[in-house]
Structure 1
Amino acid sequence: MKKRTSLVLALGLTVGAVMPFTAAAQAKTPYNVMASKEDQFNKGAKVTWKKGQAVPTFVHGKLSTKGHKDKEAIKQFIKENKQIYQLDSDKDLTLLNIQTDEIGSTHYDFVQSVQGIPVDGAAFKVHTDKDGIVTAVNGDVFPEASSYFKGKLKAQLSKDAALANAWKSINLTKDKTLIDAETGPRGEKERGLVEKSKQVIYKKGNDFYHAYKINLQFILPYPANWVVYVDANNGNILDSYNAVAEGTGVGVLGDTKTINTYYSSGTYYLYDITKPMSGVIETRTAANTQRLPGNYSVDADNNFNATSQRADVDAHYYAGVVYDYYKNNFNRNSFDNNGATIRSTVHYSRNYNNAFWNGSQMVYGDGDGTTFTSLSGAVDVVGHELTHAVTERTAGLEYQYQSGALNESISDTFGVFMDRGDYLIGEDVYTPKKAGDALRSLSDPTLYGQPDNMSGYVNTTSDNGGVHTNSGIPNKAAYLTIQKVGFDTAQKIYYRALTVYLSPKSNFSDARASLLAAAADLYGSGSTQYSAVASAWSQVGVY
Structure 2
Amino acid sequence: MKKRTSLVLALGLTVGAVLPITAAAKAIPNNVTVTKEAKQFGKDALVNWKKGQKVPTFVHGKLSTKAHKDKDAIKQFLKENKELYQLDTDKDLTLIDVQKDELGNTHYNFVQSVQGIPVDGAQFKVHTDKAGIVTAVNGDVFPEAPTYFKGVLKANFTKDTALDKAWKSIKVTKAETETNAEAGPDGKKFEDTVEKTELVVFKKENDFYLAYKTNLQFIQPYPANWVVYMDAVNGNVLDSYNAVNDAGTGVGVLGDTKTLNTNYSGGTYYLIDTTKPMAGVIETRTAKNLSRLPGSYSVDPDNNFNATSQRADVDAHYYAGVVYDYYKNTFNRNSFDGNGATLRSTVHYGRNYNNAFWNGSQMVYGDGDGTTFTSLSGSLDVIAHELTHAVTERTAGLEYQYQSGALNESISDTFGVFLDKEDYLIGEDVYTPKKSGDALRSLSNPGLYGQPENMSGYVNTTSDNGGVHTNSGIPNKAAYLTISTLGTATAEKIYYRALTVYLSPKSNFSNARAALLASTADLYGTGSTQYNAVASAWTQVGVY
TM range (shorter): 0.5 to 0.7
The alpha-carbon distance between structure 1 residues 501 and 285, as it changes in their structure 2 partners (threshold 3 A), is same
The answer to whether the 8 Å contact 2:212/2:230 transfers is: no
**How far does residue 526 in structure 1 lie from its aligned partner after superposition?**
1.1
Indicate the residue corresponding to 2:439 in structure 1: 438
**How far does residue 195 in structure 1 lie from its aligned partner after superposition?**
5.5
- 1:231-380 matches, within 5 Å, as 243-380=244-381
SS of the counterpart of 1:434?
coil
* Equivalent-residue separation in structure 2 for 1:203 and 1:323 (angstroms): 34
The alpha-carbon distance between structure 1 residues 205 and 379, as it changes in their structure 2 partners (threshold 3 A), is closer
The residue type paired with residue 525 of structure 2 is G
The residue type paired with residue 273 of structure 2 is D
The residue type paired with residue 501 of structure 1 is Y
**How far does residue 175 in structure 1 lie from its aligned partner after superposition?**
11
* Equivalent-residue separation in structure 1 for 2:274 and 2:415 (angstroms): 24
Indicate the residue corresponding to 1:227 in structure 2: 226
The answer to whether the 8 Å contact 2:242/2:265 transfers is: no
**Partner deviation per Cα, 1:91-115 (whole Å, 9 max, x = no partner):** xxxxxxxxxxxxxxxxxxxxxxxxx
The answer to whether the 8 Å contact 2:494/2:523 transfers is: yes
* Equivalent-residue separation in structure 2 for 1:264 and 1:183 (angstroms): 40
**How far does residue 204 in structure 1 lie from its aligned partner after superposition?**
2.3
How many residues are paired up? 357
**How far does residue 244 in structure 1 lie from its aligned partner after superposition?**
1.1
The answer to whether the 8 Å contact 1:451/1:470 transfers is: yes
**How far does residue 540 in structure 1 lie from its aligned partner after superposition?**
0.3
* Equivalent-residue separation in structure 2 for 1:311 and 1:455 (angstroms): 40
- 1:190-205 matches, within 5 Å, as 202=169, 204=171
Structure 2 unaligned runs (5+)?
1-93, 112-118, 123-161, 174-209, 218-222
The alpha-carbon distance between structure 1 residues 264 and 175, as it changes in their structure 2 partners (threshold 3 A), is farther
Indicate the residue corresponding to 1:427 in structure 2: 428
* Equivalent-residue separation in structure 2 for 1:392 and 1:247 (angstroms): 33
* Equivalent-residue separation in structure 2 for 1:457 and 1:513 (angstroms): 19
* Equivalent-residue separation in structure 2 for 1:179 and 1:261 (angstroms): 35
* Equivalent-residue separation in structure 2 for 1:473 and 1:187 (angstroms): 44
The answer to whether the 8 Å contact 2:95/2:108 transfers is: no
The alpha-carbon distance between structure 1 residues 317 and 194, as it changes in their structure 2 partners (threshold 3 A), is farther
**How far does residue 229 in structure 1 lie from its aligned partner after superposition?**
3.9
Indicate the residue corresponding to 2:61 in structure 1: none
Runs of 4+ in structure 1 off by over 2 angstroms are: 178-184, 186-197, 199-206, 211-218, 228-237, 239-242
The answer to whether the 8 Å contact 1:195/1:216 transfers is: no
Identity within the alignment, %: 74
Indicate the residue corresponding to 2:473 in structure 1: 472
Indicate the residue corresponding to 2:188 in structure 1: none
- 1:2-21 matches, within 5 Å, as none
The residue type paired with residue 449 of structure 2 is Y
* Equivalent-residue separation in structure 1 for 2:275 and 2:466 (angstroms): 41
* Equivalent-residue separation in structure 2 for 1:349 and 1:288 (angstroms): 4
The alpha-carbon distance between structure 1 residues 291 and 215, as it changes in their structure 2 partners (threshold 3 A), is farther
Indicate the residue corresponding to 1:67 in structure 2: none
**How far does residue 296 in structure 1 lie from its aligned partner after superposition?**
0.5
The TM-score with structure 1 as length reference comes to 0.61
Indicate the residue corresponding to 1:400 in structure 2: 401
**How far does residue 483 in structure 1 lie from its aligned partner after superposition?**
1.0
The alpha-carbon distance between structure 1 residues 392 and 212, as it changes in their structure 2 partners (threshold 3 A), is same
The answer to whether the 8 Å contact 1:214/1:227 transfers is: no
* Equivalent-residue separation in structure 1 for 2:99 and 2:340 (angstroms): 15
1:538 aligns with 2:539: yes
The answer to whether the 8 Å contact 1:215/1:225 transfers is: no
The alpha-carbon distance between structure 1 residues 460 and 244, as it changes in their structure 2 partners (threshold 3 A), is same
- 1:52-71 matches, within 5 Å, as none
**Partner deviation per Cα, 1:274-315 (whole Å, 9 max, x = no partner):** 101111101000000011000100110001000000000100
The TM-score with structure 2 as length reference comes to 0.60
The answer to whether the 8 Å contact 2:98/2:107 transfers is: no
The alpha-carbon distance between structure 1 residues 247 and 484, as it changes in their structure 2 partners (threshold 3 A), is same
* Equivalent-residue separation in structure 2 for 1:181 and 1:281 (angstroms): 30
Indicate the residue corresponding to 1:25 in structure 2: none
* Equivalent-residue separation in structure 2 for 1:400 and 1:290 (angstroms): 26
SS of the counterpart of 1:343?
strand
Structure 1 unaligned runs (5+)?
1-173, 219-223
* Equivalent-residue separation in structure 1 for 2:244 and 2:100 (angstroms): 27
* Equivalent-residue separation in structure 1 for 2:453 and 2:106 (angstroms): 41
- 1:154-169 matches, within 5 Å, as none
* Equivalent-residue separation in structure 1 for 2:99 and 2:253 (angstroms): 37
SS of the counterpart of 2:470?
coil
The residue type paired with residue 439 of structure 1 is L
* Equivalent-residue separation in structure 1 for 2:531 and 2:303 (angstroms): 49
Which has the larger Rg? 1
The answer to whether the 8 Å contact 2:261/2:273 transfers is: yes
The answer to whether the 8 Å contact 2:213/2:230 transfers is: no
The answer to whether the 8 Å contact 1:379/1:419 transfers is: yes
